[in-house]
Structure formats: structure tokens, C-alpha cells
Amino acid sequence: MRRDTVVALIQRSLLVLLILYIVLPLLVPLIFSFSTLWMDIVPEGFTVRWYLKIFDRPKYYRGLITSLLVAFSAVAIDVFICVPAAYAINRLRGPGGGFLRAAFKIFPLIFPPIVVGTGFVQAFNRPPLAWSGSLMLAVFAHATLGFPFMFRNVLAAFQTIDERTLSEAAASLGANLWQRFRYILIPNVIPGILSGSLLVFAISMGEFEVTSMIAGFGWRTMPLLLYRSLIDDIRTASAISGILIATSILAFLGMTLISGRVGAGKLRAAGARE
């Protein structure tokens, strides 16, 4: 065999191995969730029984709906606070802007979920902030955990489009602040907003740590149900894992699609047809 064929072969197999490192742990719960029996190395039988169970029993499908509701609300809040903030902070000149940009970067590091949870457990248990155990508090918690990701994506979008010059051009053409946002800025940063939204959504769907600390009696999210079933119902656990893995994969497919379209200029074409 020629030498470079060997090298190519090694490279190819290395790539496969590196990808397997990620894919295998994701694939296993999926296979598990579709098999009737898996006692040995090879699983047996194909079934969607475990998934049907989730859609059958109120406890589980309510959990799914709760998770979706919380995730969508957290995304909405993060969009609402991060798009204006990223716009403003991208514009701030001088040390103030630099400080804020750095602060948002290290914020999630020094304020990790366990600290967010410890804070949320005790901060919202008396009027006027008596939100303990409410679903709203979970929404706020997920928005708190997610906003750095949203902020980073939107800020990067504002930075890459040279927002200041585009805004000035639009202003010199007669567009006021609202029109600049509506016609120029939003269409250009929408890929960043969408990427950030998918990220926050996926994180929220899988969030267990803080949710378990502030969970009320009236509601359960998917990860909370997964935690219970890990102990006593491994089959349901596999189906819930399957749903959560699918969410993550879909979110990343979406983000890849968005960045690919931006790269190819297709999104611009699509956005401008309006």
C-alpha cells in the first residue's frame, strides 16, 4: 500500500473515533429507548412503547408541556433583555464598554447554577416577591442561566455587521431609531438571535440542577421526571433521555443551518425577499 493511502486511512479512522466519542454516549440511550430488551451487549426488539407511555400518562406529557412552556418563556425573556443590551454595549466606547463586555463573559463562571439555586431558594419567598415553587420562578431561573449565551451570540452579531456604520447610514437616509431596528438591524442580527434562542432553549429543556432546587409541588419538568425515573423506571428514563437528546441535536442542526446560510448569503436572500 502506498504511504499516503495509509496516512489517509489513519486520518479517516481517527476522525471516526473522535466522532464516536460523542456519538456513542448519545446513541446508546436512543437505542435503549427503542428496544424491548437490553440485558446483554446487543439490544433486542424494536418498540416505541416507552415513548407512547410518555404521551399516554398525564404525569409525563404534562412534564413535556411544562418544559416546553418554560423553555419558550425563558427564550422570550432573554431575547427581550439581551437584544437591546447587546446593541447598547456594542456601542459603548471607552473603558465602560470593555468592562461590561468582560463582565458578561465571566459572569456565568463565578455565578454557577449551584449559586443561582441557593440564591433563588431564599430570595423569593416573601411578598412582594413570593414566587417560591411557582413555574414563573423556574422561567426566571432558566432565563438567568441562559442569558449569557444569548448575549454572547447577539453581541457577536452586532459586532460583525458593523452596526454603528449601518445605523448611521440609515439615519442619514431618514430612518429613525425604530425604523433602523425594524429594517436594518434586526434583519442583519436575526441569525445571532436565532442561534442564541436555540441555545437557551436547549439548555432550558435539559436544565436539572437549579430546577430541582426551586421545584414546586404543582409542576415537574422533563429532567425532574428523568431524575425520578433513573432510580425506579429505567425504561421511561431512556425515552425521556431520547427526547432531550433529540432536542439538543435539533437545536444544533438549526444553528449549523443558520451559520451555513449566513455563510452562503442565502439568509440574506431569504430575508430580503420580504
Partner 1 sequence: MRRISHEWFFLIPITVFLGLFVFYPLTRVVLRSFTDNLTGHFTLQNYLNAFTQTRYLGSLKNTLWFAGACTLVGAVGGTFVGLLASRMSPKARGMLLSFYSLPMTLSSLVVAFAFIVLLGRNGVFNIILNRYLGLPKFDLYSWHGLVVTYSFYNIPLMTLTMASVFLNLDRSLIEAARNLGAKAWQVWIYVIIPVLAPGFIAGISIVLAGMLAAFGTALALTGMAKSLLSLQIYSHASESNYNIPQASALAVVLIVVIVGSLATLNWIERRLRPGGER
Partner 2 sequence: MRDQGARAAVEINAVTKRFGNVVAVADFSLEVQRGELVTLLGPSGCGKTTTLRIVAGFERPDSGRVFIFGREVTHVPPERRDVGMVFQNYALFPHMTVFQNVAFPMRIAKRPKREIREKVREYLALVRLEGLEGRYVTQLSGGQKQRVALARALARSPKILLLDEPLSALDAKIRIQLREEIRQLQQKLGITTLYVTHDQEEALSISDRIVVMNEGNIEQVGAPTEIYFRPRTLFVASFVGTMNFFTGTAVTTGGEIKLKWHEVLLSLPPGANVKPGEAISVGVRPERLSLAFDGVTIPPGHNVIPGDVSFVTFLGSIMRVEVMLADGTKVKIDLPTKEGVNPQRGQKVYLCFSPDDAVVLKT
Contact residues: partner 2, CB under 8 A: 161-162, 165-166, 168-176, 179, 183-184, 187-188, 265, 268-269, 271-272
Q: Given the complex with partner 2, which of 188 and 238 has the nearer CB atom?
A: 188
The entry of partner 2, partner 1, none that residue 117 binds, CB within 5 to 8 Å by partner kind: partner 1
Question: Cβ neighbours of residue 85 under 8 Å, at least 6 residues apart?
Answer: 151
Instruction: Quote the least distance from Cβ 273 to partner 1, whole Å.
Output: 27
Closer by beta carbon to partner 2, 173 or else 250: 173
Q: Which is nearer to partner 2, 68 or 171 (CB)?
A: 171
Give the residue from 23, 29, 22, 24 showing the smallest Cα distance to 240: 29
DSSP H helices, the chain, are 3-34, 49-56, 58-91, 94-110, 113-123, 135-160, 163-172, 177-179, 186-206, 209-214, 222-232, 234-264, 266-272
For residue 246, which of 24, 54, 46, 30 has the smallest C-alpha distance? 30
37 backbone dihedrals φ, ψ, rounded to 5°: -145, 135
Kindly write down the DSSP assignment for every residue of 223-255, as one continuous string. Answer: HHHHHHHHHH-HHHHHHHHHHHHHHHHHHHHHH
Q: Pull the grid cell for residue 76.
A: 422570550
Minimum Å gap between C-beta 148 and partner 1 is 11
Cβ-based nearer residue to partner 1, 157 or 226: 226
Binding partner at 113 among partner 1, partner 2, none, C-beta below 5 to 8 Å by kind: partner 1
How far is residue 180's CA from residue 174's CA, in Å, rounded to a whole number? 9
As measured in angstroms, the least distance from the Cβ of 89 to partner 1 is 8
Q: How many angstroms separate the CA atoms of 12 and 6, rounded? A: 10
Provide the minimum distance between the beta carbon of 178 and partner 2 in the complex, in angstroms, as a whole number.
11
CB closer to partner 1, 167 vs 267 = 167
We find the least distance from the C-beta atom of residue 12 to partner 1, in angstroms, to be 9
Residue 171, contacted partner among partner 2, partner 1, none, CB below 5-8 A by kind: partner 2
By a kind-dependent CB cut-off of 5 to 8 A, residue 81 interacts, out of partner 1, partner 2, none, with partner 1
Task: Determine if the peptide bond prior to 128 is cis (ω within 30°).
Answer: yes
- Residues 135, 138: Cα–Cα separation, whole Å: 5
79 is in the binding site of which of partner 1, partner 2, none (Cβ under 5 to 8 A by kind)? none
Q: Which does 165 bind (CB under 5 to 8 A by kind): partner 1, partner 2, none?
A: partner 2
